[in-house]
Amino acid sequence: MSRLMIEASTALCLLQDAGRFGVRHLGVTQGGAADWRSMSWANWLLGNGLDAPVIEITLGGFTVVAEEDCLLSLAGADLGAQVDGEALTPWRSFRLHKGQRLRFTQPLLGARAYLAAPGGFDAPKVLGSSATVVREELGGLDGMGHALGKGASLSYSGNSVMSLRELTAGQRPDLNLDTPLDLVLGAQIGEFSGQSLFDAFNSAWNLDSRADRMGIRLLGTALQYQGKPMISEGIPLGAVQVPPDGQPIVLLNDRQTIGGYPRLGALTPLALARLAQCLPGAQVRLRPVVQDVAHREQVEYLQRFLNR
């Protein structure tokens, strides 16, 4: 068993995996890595299952010290990672020798980095997952939903004899926002005014600083819902709700399980992964797609992992 000691951390550094499924009827949310693409690549670099537990580091402020030689991988945002002061770029596996310090400083590109270890980091499974949901006090190193704290140990038991890997430029997910975020149209789409639908898909939206793992508010022209009041219904990952103030909210992994606001639809999984790497103040655009197109693109992306 190999160990890393956490020397510095923040409330935004969490143990995550693919999430908690089959329990929303109990009021338990999904959780899991906000950028599932980067989590999957971090695990792939080490030959892990794509859903093995990783460390989700948001905005930096995280430091670990190796208690013995180890093999790790890093994917996702460039948070100014350094090994004993030397820069470490993401999308690669690397060796950390006993006593060396891995430090994440601040965002240079993107918001969330994912640190993986052979076989995944050790943590108990609660309702089938180790994903940390602080609000529900589930998952994490102790199973009680706590963020990673200074002085805690990260252990893993997987094989660390693999050769080093690095993603090519063509394999690396694009973290920029030049491409609009695809949105599958929802059941209430016809209840918004025509002008609102035009504005929704032809205007830029600014990401509000009021954002967390539950949701991100989009700031722009207020959208007008003209339908009848709704009865609360199940909320999928990526749902774009429109509250009475007309400013949409994209619901993320730690969202509530039901809601009564009308929805434009839901962002696709690929769009959500890109959104998870956005910093407050960034601009995004929405693009409507039908479910068949979104499903095909998702399947094609997942097949990349099978063909490597």
Q: Is residue 269 within a helix (H) or strand (E), and if so which, with residue range? A: helix 269-275
List of residues 6+ apart from 288 with CB closer than 8 A: 182, 183, 185, 201, 265
Give the pLDDT confidence score for residue 108 in this predicted structure. 96
52 within a domain of the structure (yes/no): yes
Residue 306's pLDDT band, with cuts at 50, 70 and 90, is low
Q: What percent of the chain has pLDDT over 70?
A: 99
Kindly state the average pLDDT of the residues 20-30.
Answer: 94
Domain that holds residue 288: 181-306
290 within a domain of the structure (yes/no): yes
Looking at the structure, tell me whether residues 275 and 230 fall in a common domain. Answer: yes
Looking at the structure, tell me whether residues 230 and 122 fall in a common domain. Answer: no
Looking at the structure, tell me whether residues 118 and 188 fall in a common domain. Answer: no
Instruction: Output the CA torsion sign for 121, 11, 97, 18.
Output: positive
162 within a domain of the structure (yes/no): no
Domain boundary among 91, 123, 156: 156
170 within a domain of the structure (yes/no): no
Looking at the structure, tell me whether residues 56 and 186 fall in a common domain. Answer: no
Looking at the structure, tell me whether residues 139 and 245 fall in a common domain. Answer: no
Tokens (6 digits) for 53: 């537990």
Looking at the structure, tell me whether residues 137 and 200 fall in a common domain. Answer: no
CB-based burial, 259-294: b 16+ in 10 Å, e otherwise: bebbbbbbbbbbbbbbbbbbeeeeebebebbeeeeb
Give the pLDDT confidence score for residue 308 in this predicted structure. 61
Give the pLDDT confidence score for residue 219 in this predicted structure. 97
Looking at the structure, tell me whether residues 9 and 150 fall in a common domain. Answer: yes
Residue 271's pLDDT band, with cuts at 50, 70 and 90, is very high
Residue 177's pLDDT band, with cuts at 50, 70 and 90, is confident
Instruction: Report the domain count for the chain.
Output: 2
- In terms of pLDDT, which residue wins out, 301 or 86? 86
What does pLDDT average to over the chain? 95
User: What DSSP assignment string belongs to 185-240?
Assistant: E-TTGGGB-HHHHHHHHHS-EEEEEEE-SSEEEEESSPP-B-SPPPPPEE--TTEE
Domain boundary among 156, 172, 191: 156
Looking at the structure, tell me whether residues 107 and 252 fall in a common domain. Answer: no
Looking at the structure, tell me whether residues 132 and 208 fall in a common domain. Answer: no
250 within a domain of the structure (yes/no): yes
117 within a domain of the structure (yes/no): yes
Domain boundary among 139, 156, 173: 156
At residue 31's C-alpha, the angle toward residues 27 and 37, to 5°, is 145
Rounded-to-integer distance, Cα 308 and Cα 297, Å:
18
171 within a domain of the structure (yes/no): no
Looking at the structure, tell me whether residues 150 and 282 fall in a common domain. Answer: no
Looking at the structure, tell me whether residues 145 and 216 fall in a common domain. Answer: no
Give the pLDDT confidence score for residue 176 in this predicted structure. 78
91 within a domain of the structure (yes/no): yes
Residue 162 predicted with pLDDT over 90: no
Looking at the structure, tell me whether residues 203 and 276 fall in a common domain. Answer: yes
CATH number reported for the structural domain that contains residue 285 in this entry: 2.40.100.10
Tokens (6 digits) for 113: 């980095």
Instruction: Output the CA torsion sign for 47, 51, 53, 56.
Output: positive
| Per-residue pLDDT reduced to its tens digit, 211-250 | 999 999 999 999 999 999 999 999 999 999 999 999 999 9
| 37, 90 Cβ separation under 8 angstroms | no
Residue 81 predicted with pLDDT over 80: yes
Spatial CA neighbour of 65 closest among 26, 108, 96, 19: 96
